[in-house]
Amino acid sequence: MTDTPVQAPTHGIAAIIKHSRYVIAENKVTGFSFGLFVLIVLAAVIGPYVVPYDPLASATSVALKPPSAAHWFGTDQLGRDVFSRVIVATRLDFFIAVASVALVFAMGGLAGVAAGFFGGWVDRVVGRIADTIMAFPLFVLAMGIVAALGNSVQNIILATAIVNFPLYARIARSEANIRRDAGFVQAARLSGNGDIRIVLTQVLPNIMPIMIVQMSLTMGYAILNAAGLSFIGLGVRPPTPEWGIMVAEGAAFMVSGEWWIAFFPGLALMIAVFCFNLLGDGLRDIVDPQRRT
């Protein structure tokens, strides 16, 4: 009688990659959203190097030309190629989204975990900060921050992170509050681990699935927030290619029939937000240990 070889279970990165491939292949919506995400990343990384025209170069002789073989998305009022500007703007908007989400997770996520795990004065301080921010209309607060500090990319990222602070803090607080008395936390404490180590190695990894979903959704909001600030003149300064600026510039030409100037940047904005919203469910399935088999 021969022994049947038993395949050892995969662990670590290999298991996550295998599970990710399964999730993407099994769910067509998730696969579609990941495909869109890859296209956005490629446009952000290599787009500025492969666009057919200089996004800042004006040519008044071809101003306000409709979409054609030479200019796929047409040209704007200064003769700049709209397609090149839309692709190049992807890098800036994607950077704003990623940076603002990383910053608000570092501020709100960690503050919420500390509030939920330790309670007491930490919980009260974080709660009052969140309540103070939520007392203002969030977009109006973002406008005020950018107007006070200056309309630079760094200040747009900071304003977006601040207005999202209450959402991250409350989600992280509620999740940490549930898990602070869980069995695995008690076992870690009995093993001699300190509170900070327990928070970083036990509590935080177990609330990451829901935080990952929220981060994906917030990236879409961050792009909308940056575009909204640019639309009202408080965002990135022209002539820098940015979707919100391009929509604002093209809005004045809609009534005269030059629809493409605002339509294609708006379409890119819609696709990016749509992609990040769909991406959340797929990321949850990938990072949630209970769904990983």
Q: How confident is the model at residue 183 (pLDDT cuts 50, 70, 90)?
A: confident
- Answer whether 235's CB lies under 8 Å from 229's CB: yes
Please, which residues bridge with residue 38 across strands? none
pLDDT at 72: 92
Burial class of residue 193 (count of CB atoms within 10 Å of its CB; 0-12, 13-18, 19+): middle
Tell me the pLDDT tens digit for each residue of 232-288. Answer: 888 888 888 889 889 988 888 888 888 999 999 999 999 998 888 888 777 766 666
The per-residue pLDDT for 4 is: 46
Residue 284: what are its φ and ψ, rounded to 5°? -60, -45
- Pair of tokens at residue 266: 């708006």
Exposure string over 138-168, b if 16+ CB within 10 A, otherwise e: beebbbebbeeeebebebbbbbbbbbbbbbb
For the chain, the domains span 13-291
Are 293 and 243 within 8 A, CB to CB? Answer: no
- The whole-number pLDDT of residue 240 equals 85
Kindly tell me if the per-residue pLDDT of 7 is higher than 80. Answer: no
Which residues, other chains included, contact 288 with Cβ-Cβ below 8 Å and sequence gap of 6+? 209
Task: Show the tokens assigned to 237.
Answer: 């300064």
pLDDT of residue 3: 45
In the chain, the percentage of residues whose pLDDT exceeds 70 is: 87
Q: With cut-offs at 50, 70 and 90, classify the pLDDT of residue 5.
A: very low
Average pLDDT over residues 100-121: 90
Average of pLDDT values for 193-214? Answer: 84
Considering the chain, what is the average pLDDT of its residues? Answer: 84
The pLDDT, as a whole number, for residue 226 is 87
pLDDT of residue 206: 83
**Helix, strand, coil shares, percent, the chain, to 5:** 75, 0, 25
**CA geometry: angle at 190 spanning 198 and 120, to 5°?**
50
- pLDDT, position 185: 86
| % of the chain beyond a pLDDT of 90 | 34
Q: 257: how many CB neighbours lie within 10 A of its CB?
A: 9
Q: Which residue has the tokens 């950077």?
A: 95
Quick one: pLDDT band at residue 16, thresholds 50, 70, 90? low
pLDDT of the residue at 11:
52
For 77, half-sphere exposure in the C-beta direction (CA atoms, 13 angstrom radius) is: 14
* Average pLDDT of the segment spanning 15-24: 65
CATH class of 13-291: mainly alpha
Q: Is the pLDDT of residue 46 over 90?
A: yes
CA 228 to chain centre: 15
pLDDT, tens digit (0-9, with 9 covering 90-100), for 142-152: 999 999 988 88
pTM for this prediction: 0.84
Query: What single letter denotes the amino acid at residue 241?
Result: P
> What are the CB-based long-range contacts (under 8 Å, 24+) for 131-138?
131/166, 133/162, 133/163, 133/165, 133/166, 134/166, 138/163
Residue-wise pLDDT for 49-104, tens only, equals 989 999 888 888 888 889 999 889 999 988 899 999 999 999 999 999 999 999 99
Model confidence at 227: pLDDT above 70: yes
Bridge partners (DSSP) listed for residue 123 = none
Which DSSP symbol is given to 81?
Answer: B
Residue 9 confidence (pLDDT):
44
| Contact indicator for 133, 164 with CB cutoff of 8 Å | no
